[in-house]
Structure 1
Amino acid sequence: MIKKSIGLLAGMLVTVAVYAAGAQLRADHPDSYTVHRGDTLWGISARFLSKPWLWPEIWQANPQVRNPHLIYPGDVLDLSFINGGPALRLEPSMHREGEAIPAVPLDQIKQFLKDSRVVDPDEVKNAPYVMGFEEGDLTGTVGRNVYVRNLDAKPGQRWAIVRPTHVFRTHGGSGAEESDGMTANIADSDVATIRTPWNEEWATSVDNVTPDHAFRGKTLGMEVTVIGEAEVLRGGDPSTLLLLNSIVEIRAGDRLMPIDDNPYDPYYYPHPPKSSPDGARVIAFAQERMSQVGPYDVVVLSVGSKDGVDNGTTFSLWQPGEQVPDDVAHSSFSRYDHKFVTLPDEYVGHMMIFRTFDHVSYGLVMDGLKPVKVGARAKMPE
């Protein structure tokens, strides 16, 4: 039903003071902007502010605006000056309820909000597991029965079927060495592509791989992907479940975990970290086999909720400076004898956290001057 927005109005015009506006306004800001379908609050704020993650301060400065997410296509934002200072005015339009623009493009992160989670590896190891299929089938398909061991459940209960996809670890020694070691994508390809059942033997052998691939650091978490859903028909050990849906064929060794009915909050309020992150690095990309990513790509960060990170936490990403030989200061013919100098870190863009786990977070690259690479450092936003 078409109706006028009443949640943002006090009369026909809402005037909103800009937080630290004189310092935050972009030099090339427009005088007005009409909101379009597909816009995000971050993108709109970037048109007015040099620090777009401060847009919540704009709305919080005006108590009449109860929900900063209730901005709709067709609304007009005007930049004006009142009493010598800048302010944003919102001129609401006619709109359809439910069409409010999001803070970030939810379509880009939907898979990681609903279908992925990072848990302790022991939780996966000890979870109920698929051990067989109806009539001796080699894999499970929708509408057929699957048999599960170690499941304590009643008929009618529904469970998510998950498959391990990545193991996130630090590597190297301890202290500073360990922090510096968080520079690699710790995605274990065997877990993602192995054709035989995933079982406890793999979980044990991962710490006993060849020296060339040895992991000597700590485990940050194991990523699992929801690949199906099943309903309990009969209890017991094994239990009988009906496979309701799946995105791939279910195989022996797949684990069962409770369904998360409310995996995420669709609203995000960008804000700086509570404190300067210590050793936070980009350790993986959502897009496998990518060597670098850009705006609206998903990355994995090596800090999480137990490190003080929450949804909306915004970081600046900096690519570590390379170590290069100082050819000017040394005259030796062999560069191996030269003193190597570490160049300064280079700013590459901003990233906002949209889902956290204990020591790992998913983040969305919001903007950037250069591509983001694995190993990028996360710092206080600038």
Structure 2
Amino acid sequence: MKRYLRQFVATTFACLLTLSLSLGVEANVLSIKQDAPKTYTVIKGDTLWEISSLYLDSPWLWPRLWQMNPEIENPHLIYPGDKLSLEWRNGQPMLTLKPMVKLSPKARKQAKPPIKAVREELFLPYLKSHRLLDTQQLHSAERVVGASDGRRYLTDANLIYISGQQPPSRWGIYREMRTFDVDGREVTALKKIAEGEVVTSDEELSALSVSIQYQEIMAGDIVLSDIGTEEALLNPTFYPQPGPSGSVSKILGSLEGSQYSGSNDVVVVSGGRDQGFEQGSMFQLYQKGVSSKLEQHQDKQYQLPSVAVGYLMVIRPYRDYSLALVTQATAPIGIDTELMAPNPEGTH
């Protein structure tokens, strides 16, 4: 009798285990849009965000849908002319690639650049022209001292002087824009206004020949070396992916200073590389629900749920703060808007 009982228990456990595993697999299956195309040929101007949106209600799940090819370099890259095919393997949907050119082992030569995560004109200027510095970095930065003719506004100045003895190298000249509060610490946004190269130097001053000027230079403007900066850590080609699981961030303000932001605006958010933020990390935006009381129940406060109002993508992570692009907004986005990493399974 005991032997039959043990067999019954073992058989029941095995059935339950199989059922739980099958249910887990079922729950983990990506949800594909009903009108998703079976095949799609990439054209110039496409973005990963747009293509992912053709197939998924949660475009940040692109890495799960995209079947990367391990036989080529940079396997997540997609090029104009590539043919994408929607297939199902082991009950899971995935996009596979039929490239426009023949692949050789570990190499893929393309005349055209790969498509970007979002439209390049929306984020590239901010990667090249904007910097965020904390108070310590700002105070230790070199400054424009002036020009020999004593002018305050250095428009079309060919040669200006900056503080300190500097080696011959390229420098960017930046103007302070606005300051943000990051957990009680000030962070200042800078915008590049000119570029140049150090040509001579002594113990106190270095002469900088201006090669590109976007607006007038003033004494006191910040000067930062273009060598050894975080630029080397940035890549204009990245892909959307969920932000770190369980992470919560907040908007610190608009980079341009407006009270509210909308789609395609750039904002500063809390959290950076120390919190696992990367280029392409996605967050969902929520409008916080109000609290309310009923006339009949004045002793009870009701907290209404927050409402999803859009998405945000990190485009430039720093140590513990980041620049981010609002990719979609159905309501004004302000400092009271909540940010949460989207569910990695795509459910809300």
- For Structure 1 versus Structure 2, the TM-score category normalised by the shorter chain is 0.7 to 0.9
| Secondary structure class of the residue paired with 2:53 | helix
Cα distance in 2 for residues equivalent to 1:329 and 1:298: 43
Number of the residue aligned with 1:224: 190
Alignment map for 1:241-256 (pairs within 5 Å): 241-256=208-223
Cα distance in 2 for residues equivalent to 1:90 and 1:26: 19
- CA positional deviation for 1:377: 1.3
Number of the residue aligned with 2:61: 54
Alignment map for 1:192-341 (pairs within 5 Å): 218-236=184-202, 237-259=204-226, 260=229, 262=232, 264-278=234-248, 280-289=249-258, 291-294=260-263, 296-330=264-298, 341=302
Cα distance in 1 for residues equivalent to 2:143 and 2:72: 49
- CA positional deviation for 1:128: 2.0
Q: Deviations over 1:197-244 (max 9, x none)?
A: xxxxxxxxxxxxxxxxxxxx6025222222112322332323332222
1:153 pairs with 2:153: no
Query: Larger deviation: 133-142 or 352-361?
Result: 133-142
> Does structure 2 conserve the Cα–Cα contact (< 8 Å) formed by 1:33 and 1:78?
yes
Cα distance in 1 for residues equivalent to 2:29 and 2:275: 33
| Secondary structure class of the residue paired with 1:321 | coil
Cα distance in 2 for residues equivalent to 1:158 and 1:88: 43
1:71 pairs with 2:78: yes
Number of the residue aligned with 1:180: none
> Does structure 2 conserve the Cα–Cα contact (< 8 Å) formed by 1:353 and 1:361?
yes
Task: Between the two structures, name the one with larger relative contact order (CA 8 Å, sep ≥ 6).
Answer: 1
Q: Structure 1 residues 235 and 274 mapped into 2: Cα distance closer, same or farther (>3 Å)?
A: same
- CA positional deviation for 1:355: 0.7
| Secondary structure class of the residue paired with 2:126 | helix
Q: Structure 1 residues 230 and 372 mapped into 2: Cα distance closer, same or farther (>3 Å)?
A: same
2:140 to 126, 142, 147: 126
Unaligned runs of 5+ in 1: 1-18, 171-216, 331-337
1:107 to 100, 107, 121: 121
> Does structure 2 conserve the Cα–Cα contact (< 8 Å) formed by 1:318 and 1:348?
yes
> Does structure 2 conserve the Cα–Cα contact (< 8 Å) formed by 1:221 and 1:359?
no
> Does structure 1 conserve the Cα–Cα contact (< 8 Å) formed by 2:286 and 2:309?
yes
Q: Structure 1 residues 360 and 85 mapped into 2: Cα distance closer, same or farther (>3 Å)?
A: closer
For 1:320, the aligned partner's letter is: K
1:135 pairs with 2:149: yes
Q: Structure 1 residues 35 and 327 mapped into 2: Cα distance closer, same or farther (>3 Å)?
A: farther
- CA positional deviation for 1:60: 4.6
Q: Structure 1 residues 376 and 84 mapped into 2: Cα distance closer, same or farther (>3 Å)?
A: closer
For 2:277, the aligned partner's letter is: V
> Does structure 2 conserve the Cα–Cα contact (< 8 Å) formed by 1:234 and 1:240?
yes
Normalised by the size of structure 2, how large is the TM-score?
0.77
> Does structure 2 conserve the Cα–Cα contact (< 8 Å) formed by 1:114 and 1:264?
no
Larger strand share, 1 or 2:
2
> Does structure 2 conserve the Cα–Cα contact (< 8 Å) formed by 1:316 and 1:349?
yes
Query: Larger deviation: 128-137 or 262-271?
Result: 262-271
Cα distance in 1 for residues equivalent to 2:256 and 2:222: 23
Cα distance in 1 for residues equivalent to 2:70 and 2:209: 51
For 2:194, the aligned partner's letter is: G
- CA positional deviation for 1:44: 0.6
Larger radius of gyration: 2
1:166 pairs with 2:166: no
Q: Structure 1 residues 83 and 238 mapped into 2: Cα distance closer, same or farther (>3 Å)?
A: closer
Query: How many aligned positions are there?
Result: 307
Same amino acid, percent of matched pairs: 32
> Does structure 2 conserve the Cα–Cα contact (< 8 Å) formed by 1:220 and 1:302?
no
Q: Structure 1 residues 232 and 99 mapped into 2: Cα distance closer, same or farther (>3 Å)?
A: closer
> Does structure 2 conserve the Cα–Cα contact (< 8 Å) formed by 1:220 and 1:359?
no
Cα distance in 1 for residues equivalent to 2:237 and 2:88: 30
Alpha-carbon RMSD across the aligned residues, in angstroms, is 2.9
Query: Larger deviation: 79-88 or 22-31?
Result: 79-88
Number of the residue aligned with 1:14: none
- CA positional deviation for 1:132: 2.3
Cα distance in 1 for residues equivalent to 2:271 and 2:77: 31
> Does structure 2 conserve the Cα–Cα contact (< 8 Å) formed by 1:322 and 1:343?
yes
- CA positional deviation for 1:96: 6.0
